[in-house]
Amino acid sequence: MTNHWTRLTLVLLITMLILPFKVLSQGTIYRLSEPVFGLLDPVYGVDQRLISGSIYYGPWRGSITGYAYYIDEAWKKGSVTTGKLTYNNLDLKYDIEKNKIILKFTNINGSVSQISLRKQNIDNFVMDGRLFVPYPGTHKYGAEKFCELIASGEINYLILKTKAFTLSNGGSTDYIYKEYIKQFLQINNQLIPFKTRRNIYNLYPEHKQELRRYLRSQRLEPIKNRIDDRKAMVKYCNQLISGQN
């Protein structure tokens, strides 16, 4: 009996990994039933519901400078929210070269596996204390991307990072990960490239002088590579807009 249930569980697990959301020709969506989830819960707990993507085999290997991930190569503690459910205390990475959110988990045999989660199912995720939300702009091939939400309010401050795997130009390695960073202000569903502080001055001229006094008093210089200074400026502007100052 024990071997029977072990084989059944393995079959169900493979079904989850390969056919998590199979769309039939009639348009019916096939989903694993709650009793099936119940059989797997003793092994995975509720987090097994996240395992709905494909096996992740890691980034490119070889003589390479840099790494494929948003932060670095180490696993980061975080959470994933999908629908009304939030799964906490997860080990996550975000491979921004391949645009894959990676979950580390222990499989039924006790070995560590890496799964690329289905981004379509994710409302947001937190990794190393940073909040990531779906990028609201257009992007190549329509593939879902996530950006970091730096500050929120009347003005949302967003950062979108991407990486490209390219040949090195005479460096110490054969290949390199080139990183590209775009910064945006989102106001009333409008996405505006955040180039300089003047973007905010032009949007809210009535608060320009107060913002300038604030930057001087706090010795802030919200240029492109000073994210914390830009964050402080956006947060203060949101306070002025809401009348909190």
What values do phi and psi take at 237, rounded to 5?
-65, -40
**Residue 1 placed within a domain:** yes
**Residue 208 placed within a domain:** no
Q: Around Cβ 159, how many Cβ atoms within 10 Å?
A: 20
**Residue 16 placed within a domain:** yes
CB 21, CB 30: distance < 8 Å:
yes
pLDDT at 159: 97
- Domain limits at 14? 1-45
pLDDT at 173: 81
| Mean pLDDT, the chain, whole residue set | 80
Is the torsion defined by CA of 196, 200, 202, 207 positive or negative? negative
pLDDT digits (tens, 9 = 90+) for 37-53: 444 444 445 455 566 66
- Asked if pLDDT for residue 107 goes beyond 80, the answer is no
pTM: 0.76
pLDDT at 158: 97
**Residue 37 placed within a domain:** yes
**How far, in Å, CA of 151 to CA of 108, rounded?**
40
Q: Is 148 exposed, middle or buried (0-12, 13-18, 19+ CB in 10 A)?
A: buried
**Residue 232 placed within a domain:** no
What values do phi and psi take at 239, rounded to 5?
-65, -40
Q: Is 234 exposed, middle or buried (0-12, 13-18, 19+ CB in 10 A)?
A: buried
**Residue 5 placed within a domain:** yes
- Asked if pLDDT for residue 100 goes beyond 70, the answer is yes
CB 48, CB 40: distance < 8 Å:
yes
Q: Which of 170, 147, 168 is closest to 158 using CA atoms?
A: 147
Q: Which of 119, 116, 88 is closest to 103 using CA atoms?
A: 116
- Asked if pLDDT for residue 7 goes beyond 60, the answer is no
Q: How many domains does the chain have?
A: 1
- Asked if pLDDT for residue 14 goes beyond 70, the answer is no
pLDDT band at 143 (very low <50, low <70, confident <90, very high): low
pLDDT digits (tens, 9 = 90+) for 154-196: 999 999 999 998 888 877 788 898 999 999 999 988 999 999 9
- Proportion of the chain above pLDDT 70, given as a percent: 74
**Residue 33 placed within a domain:** yes
Mean pLDDT of 73-101: 91
**Residue 104 placed within a domain:** no
